[in-house]
Amino acid sequence: MPTPGRAWQVAAVAGVLLALAGCSETIPGRAFPSPEPGQEARGPGEPASSEAPVDCDYAPADARNPNVIDIEMPNDPDGSNDRVVLDVTSSQGAFQITLDATTAPCAANSMKFLAENAFFDGSPCHRLVNAETFGVLQCGDPTGTGSGGPTYNYTFEPASVDSLRPAPDGASAIYPRGSVAMAQGGQPPTIGSQFFICFTDTQLPPDYTLVGTITAGIETIDVVAAGGNDASFEPSPGGGAPLIPITLQTVTVQN
């Protein structure tokens, strides 16, 4: 059995190939890059103002991907909502996601838009990873293939990860239990509808937009996590389909 460090390396490197081949949105999906010579490392970003519109640069997704689902592009956020609450009913129970539109305005706006248009309703959570420093449930793909999403995408929001504490390896960060972050795929990496829920403190490169937190019902995720996975995504990107299946029945925006 490989050591955790080696498994992490294999998952990160092979995940790049998987993302290139199938446009899958995975975590981890790529190795943590070092700055190029002459290039400054990314520093803390400024949080988005809650009083001004934000330019999200939503763009058309790759039309060659047969698993994208046609939906119009959202308007850019107008800055009127700092917090958006999503109520989720699932085949295993209910939970609640609170989105942070101050540091991840584009991701929060997209998630809200997709929920308002019933995009997530009836979608399975297709991937579960059970590892000592990496425990996530990945959801948000209505096709359940790992490569599905909307007909638009957007990019990483650096300000969303500024509050994360560094991991012991110095290159990664700790996404705390209850974090909800956006998966990404392709080269260069882009974000669609897929997101992952951390049911343990999870060590990852700080390259995944932290869009919100589970504010109620994380016990629902714990039940699924305790059942383990079928290892169908091993060795890369890791994990497999949850042995206790979970489908998002409805995802609605709380008024």
Q: What is the pLDDT of residues 84-127, one digit of tens each?
A: 999 999 999 999 999 999 999 999 999 999 999 999 999 999 99
Residue 239: partners with Cβ closer than 8 Å, 6 or more residues away: 127, 128, 129, 130, 131, 136, 229, 231, 233
Report pLDDT for 237: 86
Domains of the chain: residue spans and CATH: 4-31+57-253 (2.40.100.10)
3-state secondary structure of 4: helix
Flag whether pLDDT at 35 surpasses 50: no
Report pLDDT for 78: 87
Instruction: Tell me which of 204 and 186 has the higher pLDDT.
Output: 204
Report pLDDT for 52: 66
- Cα separation, 209 vs 155, whole angstroms: 9
Query: pTM here?
Result: 0.82
Q: What is the pLDDT of residues 2-19, one digit of tens each?
A: 332 222 222 332 332 223
Residue 223: partners with Cβ closer than 8 Å, 6 or more residues away: 92, 93, 244
Task: pLDDT band for 80, please (50, 70, 90 cuts).
Answer: confident
Q: Average of pLDDT values for 220-238?
A: 95
